Amino acid sequence: MKKILGIALGIVTSIGGFLDVGSIATSAQAGAAFGLSLLWAVLLGTICVIFLVEMSGRFSIVSGHTIIDAIRKRFGFAAFIVPFAATLLVNLLVLAAELGGVCVALQLLTGIGFQLWAIPVALALWMLLWLATFDMVENGAALLGLVTLCFVVAIFVLGAEPVELAAGLVPSLPAEERTHYLFLVVSIIGATIAPYLFLFYSSGAIEDKWDKSFITANRVIATLGMSFGGLISMAVIIVAALALKPQGIRVEEFEQAALMLVPAYGGWGFYLFVASLAIACFGAALELSLASAYSVSQAFGWNWGENLKPREAARFSTTYSAFIAAAGLIVLVGLNPMKLTLFSMAITALVLPLTALPFLVLMNDPRYMGSHVNSRFSNAVVALIVVLTGILAVVSIPLELIGSK
């Protein structure tokens, strides 16, 4: 009974925790510019993230290691540290984008510029981590995140054609704006398969002391949680396609995206969007700060854990404090939050192979996994999606940079 409750909670938290600034921004822009034709990118990313999250849970259950800890041991410090530093830098950019998302939501609500919110929002985030425990942080943020289900409900209010939805799930290339389309493909996949998601999940499995009786529970949580999460991302594309595209509204700023729920809910739609944006970004910022501090601690063998008081894990709590401060400064500089988000997501896709491929090597090493090594099929799915997206990122990021000048 306790396990069923745990599974249910795991699924609910994955749904509530799935949407972040990246999914909202990329999906809103994709739907407004290209209608339903980018749904397949979310589908592809979701398939990959289901596999990766299931693997990261199984890895921690079977080997007793966290992923970072094991990658350092398997490949050695010198080979590990450079890709690790790159991943941390990208995490920092994404954290800045998430904080920026919360600040933009507050700007939409109050009219006070988002930069002025950078310090209060960063401080609120930091205080929550400093004072609260892991379960409060994880479950609280994720339960509030269920407000993002309003995007799914909006599809039914607006009425979508099932045939057109199905057509969007088949990869295609538009006649115009191909470079921007490919850049959005990369950003959407980067937003869906964020490395912090499975690093966080693997740390959670260790912190919650999952044993081998959780192998099936892990599979159920990963599959259902990530599928439902992916559905919400798709819902954002669909709502943007139905509500914004027919009126010719392009999403260059969050202000335009904020209108997408108005046709479905009237004036309340604006507030629902603002609440979804604020909660989803704040929840993701919590997870991201923790995941980064976990990773650094696991890389250097420090004691770590959000259930420890700050003074029991001084290096751990200093790490997330420094991360949040740095991200707050990036928001304060005043880069366009929408652009910052899209580029962070694209760069995430670019560095994804740096974590995902060494992780795949570990998943096939019987010294860690025993009889629970990966099947060839799951290796192929993850390697193919991650490598193809990485190559696409190398091509499309420079093209988008040239085009946006």
Partner 1 sequence: MTIDLIRDVLDTQVLDRRKQPLGKVDGIGLELREGAAPRVAYLEIDGVTAWRRLGARYGRWAARIASRWQHEGHPYRFRWSQVLDFGIDIEIDVDAHRSPPLDLERWLSDKFVNRIPGAK
Residue 403 as a binder of partner 1 (CB under 8 A): the answer is: no
* Least gap, CB of 322 to partner 1 (angstroms): 10
CB-count burial class (<10 Å; 0-12, 13-18, 19+) for 160: middle
- Rounded to a whole number of angstroms, the CA Rg of the chain reads 20
Residue 301 as a binder of partner 1 (CB under 8 A): the answer is: yes
Instruction: State the binding string over 223-262 for partner 1 (x if CB under 8 A, else -).
Output: ----------------------------------------
Binder among 38, 57, 67, 72 for partner 1 (CB under 8 A): 72
Instruction: State the binding string over 5-44 for partner 1 (x if CB under 8 A, else -).
Output: ----------------------------------------
Q: Is 329 helix (H, G, I), strand (E, B) or coil?
A: helix
* Least gap, CB of 302 to partner 1 (angstroms): 6
Q: Which is nearer to partner 1, 6 or 310 (CB)?
A: 310
Residue 212 as a binder of partner 1 (CB under 8 A): the answer is: no
Q: Which is nearer to partner 1, 183 or 294 (CB)?
A: 294
Q: Is 400 helix (H, G, I), strand (E, B) or coil?
A: helix
> How many angstroms separate the Cα of 401 from the Cα of each of 78, 96, 137?
32, 20, 37
Q: Which stretch binds partner 1 (CB under 8 A): 32-40, 69-77, 227-235, 253-261?
A: 69-77
Binder among 311, 366, 376, 405 for partner 1 (CB under 8 A): 311
Residue 326 as a binder of partner 1 (CB under 8 A): the answer is: no
How many whole angstroms separate alpha carbon 37 and alpha carbon 64?
Answer: 42
Q: Which is nearer to partner 1, 3 or 73 (CB)?
A: 73
Instruction: List phi, psi (to 5°) of 67.
Output: -65, -45
Q: How far apart are the first and last CA of the chain?
A: 58
Site residues for partner 1, 272-291, by CB under 8 A, read none
CB-count burial class (<10 Å; 0-12, 13-18, 19+) for 144: middle
Instruction: Supply 313's token pair.
Output: 């894990």
- Unique residue bearing structure tokens 């999914």: 23
How many whole angstroms separate alpha carbon 93 and alpha carbon 82?
Answer: 17
> How many angstroms separate the Cα of 167 from the Cα of each of 37, 40, 161?
7, 9, 10
Instruction: State the binding string over 73-112 for partner 1 (x if CB under 8 A, else -).
Output: x--xxx--x-------------------------------
* Least gap, CB of 156 to partner 1 (angstroms): 45
CB 226 within 8 A of CB 50: yes
Q: Which is nearer to partner 1, 128 or 387 (CB)?
A: 128
Longest Cα–Cα distance in the chain: 58
* Least gap, CB of 98 to partner 1 (angstroms): 23
* Least gap, CB of 214 to partner 1 (angstroms): 17
Site residues for partner 1, 112-171, by CB under 8 A, read 127, 130-131
Q: Which stretch binds partner 1 (CB under 8 A): 15-23, 193-201, 272-280, 298-306?
A: 298-306
Centroid of chain to Cα 386: 15
Instruction: List phi, psi (to 5°) of 313.
Output: -140, 70
Q: Is 373 helix (H, G, I), strand (E, B) or coil?
A: coil
Residues that bind partner 1 (CB under 8 A): 63-65, 69, 72-73, 76-78, 81, 127, 130-131, 300-303, 309-311, 314-315, 317-318, 321
